[in-house]
Amino acid sequence: MNPPAGRAIAFALHGGAGVIDPGSFAATRRAACAAALRAIASRAVQALRDGAPSLDVVEQAVAELEDCEFFNAGRGAVLNGDGVAELDAAIMDGRDRAAGAVCAARRVRNPVRAARALLRDGAHVLLAGEGADRFAAAQGLPLVDPEWFVIADRRAQLDAARAEGRVTLDHDERWADARRVSGTVGAVALDRHGHLAAATSTGGMTNKAPGRVGDSPLVGAGTFADDDTCAVSATGHGEFYMRRVLAHDVHARMLYLDQDLHAATEEALAEVGRMGGTGGLVAVDHAGQVTLPFNSPGMYRAWLDRDGAVQVAIYRDPEPAPD
């Protein structure tokens, strides 16, 4: 279905939802996070304006977020109970629901690129652990030593989580050191050709059990795209998103109940909330609507607004644009 004239493209990304205490959030850190989100979203929007396919745009935006140490994906990802980054990522094409995903990967530098390579290959949808890393290497994607992903703030965050015997969301403010770290990443886009795509990438949750896989790489849970309805990338406590099949729930509400994007995302997220899950999502629909709901105190996010400007927000109100 083609988007209506005048609203030819749509884009949104997130850098994770969670408890982000404004009082303990250093102004310089906050500004740096906002600047990174704005720069990555602006490049994505320009690519869409230039006619790039949504699938390429979400892959590139998520790869850039993976490379940014602020976020819980790629370098700077959270650590599992063994102190190792195990990485999950997925990408989905709304044209034909082609999808690729990797989970518990330890060596591929950009998990979303491995997911995209798997989508392109077409034989499988999800590869785990060593198989995912081997596939990525065979595709010519760079592998790194597992230590390359580890940054000092995440070690400190893991120590704090271990001390209390807890598994925590990636930037839960209970941990003093979590003030310097942010969340899971994802992007959704509608391109000029009327095609939707979604991608998500994460290290999951701090102090998670080795081998634990979250919602992000699971088609229909944390990531989903279908040109007839919407593209969704979720962030939050993955166990709840898996049990609610959140991203597909948004799609199903639009398809079967004829709900609009706003109602479908609000109600699907409310179901997660009723189960006790916190987090949020970013979504765009086939008509170019954009929504970014969350039930946590904040969510790092950026989007193309109705006036054609890129907005960035962490709490309810947009962050100020640079002069």
Reduced 3-state DSSP string for the chain? CCCCCCCCCEEEEEEEEECCCHHHCCHHHHHHHHHHHHHHHHHHHHHHHCCCCHHHHHHHHHHHHHHCCCCCCCCCCCCCCCCCCCEEEEEEECCCCEEEEEEEECCECCHHHHHHHHHHHCCCCEEEHHHHHHHHHHCCCCECCHHHHCCHHHHHHHHHHHHCCCCECCCCCCCHHHHHCCCCEEEEEECCCCCEEEEEEECCCECCCCCCCCCCCCECCCEEECCCCEEEEEEECHHHHHHHCHHHHHHHHHHHCCCCHHHHHHHHHHHHHHHCCCEEEEEEECCCCEECCECCCEEEEEEECCCCCEEEECCCCECCCCC
Output 48 or 103, the one with its CB closest to ligand ASP: 103
Residues lying near ligand ASP in the complex (CB under 6 A) are found at 16, 169-170, 183-184, 202, 204-205, 214-216, 222, 235-238
Output 116 or 171, the one with its CB closest to ligand ASP: 171
Output 259 or 296, the one with its CB closest to ligand ASP: 296
Please state the closest distance from residue 6 (CB atom) to ligand ASP, in A: 33
Please state the closest distance from residue 85 (CB atom) to ligand ASP, in A: 12
Please state the closest distance from residue 313 (CB atom) to ligand ASP, in A: 17
Of 28, 168, 184, 235, the active-site residue reads 184
Output 236 or 293, the one with its CB closest to ligand ASP: 236
Active site residue 278: no
Please state the closest distance from residue 216 (CB atom) to ligand ASP, in A: 5
Active site residues: 184
